[in-house]
Structure 1
Amino acid sequence: MLLPWVLIAGAAAYGAGAGALLPRPAYRLSVEPDEAWREACPDGHPYADQGRVRAWLGPATCAERATRAGAHGSGRRAFAVPGALVCAGLAAAVGPRPELAVWLLMVPCGLLLSAVDRRVNRLPDVLTLPLAAGAAALLGLAALLPGAEGSWGRALGGGAVLAGAYFVLFVISPRAVGFGDVKLALALGVALGWYGWDVLFVGAFLGFLVGAVYGVALILTRRAGRGTALAFGPFMVLGALAGVALGGLAA
């Protein structure tokens, strides 16, 4: 009985640690499509001076400024807390199956994409495309290991189906669905398709449902109008996380 709790605690610790590294890439990538990634912190100090790894991971601000302003811990907690909760929830739902490692690796990227999309309505290719390729490759490896509860072929099909559906929506209404959403759907479809077509449908539907409820709430509270563009990526990720968790429980 101790193993599940150890697994959950380990997943939570991993999620908190990975989340604490995300404020800097979220800040650097949150720019308009025609702008280059931010190369310096809010104080103007170049990130390149801190080395290749530290240039992309850690707090958005320099350590000195963050310590003075008290933003060092709060910025990291904004990602660390949801990272810990999501990873712990996935571990509890999926258990010690090989595919759990894939879901845990996808969580930081999902959080990062959600943050960037929420800030500038953009899902960068530098994140969406590697996420799709990595999910497909890693699930292919997971399928070879004992204890895996899913289908790699169905996962690939799920990615194609969900991306195709979003592409149709993009063609019909490019203001409502961006092409970045289509690319993100490819990765999320791979994850959802792993557990079954019903899980794919549920995960996609939950994303639309939560997004619609949020949009209606903004309109009713007069914080947005009917023509206001909303970032849909966070709702896609949220729906996919719920779908994967439900698929893991059912499996």
Structure 2
Amino acid sequence: MDVVLIAVAAVYGALAGVLTRRARFRLAVEPEEGWRSTAPCGHAVGGWVGAARCGACGERYGPGAPAPPWWPAVMTAVVCGGLAAAVGIRPELAVWLLAVPVGVVLAGVDRQVHRLPDVLTLPLAAGTALLLGAASLIPGAAGSWPRALLGGLALGGGYLALFLLHPSGMGFGDVKLAAGLGCALGWYGWWPLLQGALAGLLLASCYGNALRITHRVPRGASIPLGPFLIAGAWAGVLAGALRAKG
């Protein structure tokens, strides 16, 4: 059964990786700009779910165009398959699988334009909290909903303090993202919350230092934190799920 579950989750992840490309293209704009509604070919872009291909002329657009959209599909398939393997048939797995596509879009947009749109970070935080509350009512759930809420407050509050102390080092979008990720990490306990938070900061630090050592960015330049916070949260959720699974 675990093999079937992992395969289904991986296929779902692959489809999600392809179908989120349009949202990434439309949301990857500067703060003062509106969401994209026109493709580079000049044709209108409608909807938020779908491959980054113009329906009128067939031209690819978006991040990585004209390369085929294989890497988001592979990455998201690995993430979803890993979650299924670690969590197993538990109610919270549905919450994680629903959150993954949102995280993929946020990571892609932040990497491209250093922005985490409220239209995704706020629903991610609220949706994770509410859905985990529903999951906690189903037999077999392995986490704690009150602790998940406290985890969101703790991680969000921690990043708010860092933002106030050093606003040039991160954006307020990182604070709102941290609230949602804290809910997910707190579900399994305080130790996974600490692991996920530290893993995200460590990954970001290693990446930033590597860029500066190789002179790809000037010293003091900011890097997008979102992708690393999301990757660290995934690692923390995996560790917590494996511990809960025994």
- TM-score by shorter chain over 0.5: yes
Q: How many Å separate the matches in 2 of 1:225 and 1:190?
A: 35
Match of 2:143 in 1: 150
Structure 1 residue 60 displacement after superposition = 2.4
In the other structure, the counterpart of 2:160 is 167
Amino acid at match of 1:103: W
For residue 92 of structure 1, report the CA deviation from its aligned partner: 0.5
Aligned partner of 1:42 in structure 2 is 40
Question: Which deviations, in whole Å up to 9, do the C-alpha atoms of 1:4-25 show, x marking residues without a partner?
Answer: 0000000001001111111111
- Of 198, 203, 217, the residue aligned with 1:205 is 198
In structure 2, what is the equivalent of residue 117 of structure 1? Answer: 110
| Matched AA of 2:164 | V
Is 2:222 the partner of 1:229?
yes
CA gap 1:72/1:32 in 2 versus in 1, 3 angstroms: closer
Q: Residue 11 of structure 2 aligns with which residue?
A: 13
2:207 maps to 1:214: yes
Task: In structure 1, list runs of 5 or more residues that go unmatched.
Answer: 49-54
Aligned-pair identity in percent equals 56
One-letter amino acid of the structure 2 residue matched with residue 232 of structure 1: L
Q: What is residue 52 of structure 2 aligned with on the other side?
A: 60
- Once the two structures are TM-superposed, the CA of residue 75 in structure 1 deviates from its matched residue by 4.2
With the length of structure 2 as denominator, give the TM-score of the two structures.
0.94
Displacement of 1:224 in angstroms is 1.2
The count of residues paired between Structure 1 and Structure 2 equals 240
Please list every run of 5 or more consecutive structure 2 residues that lacks an aligned counterpart in the other structure: none
Contact 2:41 2:59 in 1 (8 A): no
Structure whose residues are more often helix by fraction:
1
Alignment-derived partner of residue 171 in structure 2: 178
Counterpart amino acid of residue 26 in structure 1:
R
Using the size of structure 1 for normalisation, the TM-score is 0.92
Corresponding position of 1:29: 27
Q: Which amino acid in structure 1 is aligned with residue 29 of structure 2? A: V
Q: Measure, in 2, the Cα distance between the counterparts of 1:112 and 1:125.
A: 12
Say which is worse superposed, 105-114 or 223-232, in terms of deviation: 223-232
Q: Give the corresponding residue for 1:98.
A: 91
Take 2:3 and 2:21, find their aligned partners in 1: how far apart are those partners?
29
Residue 100 of structure 2 is matched in structure 1 by 107
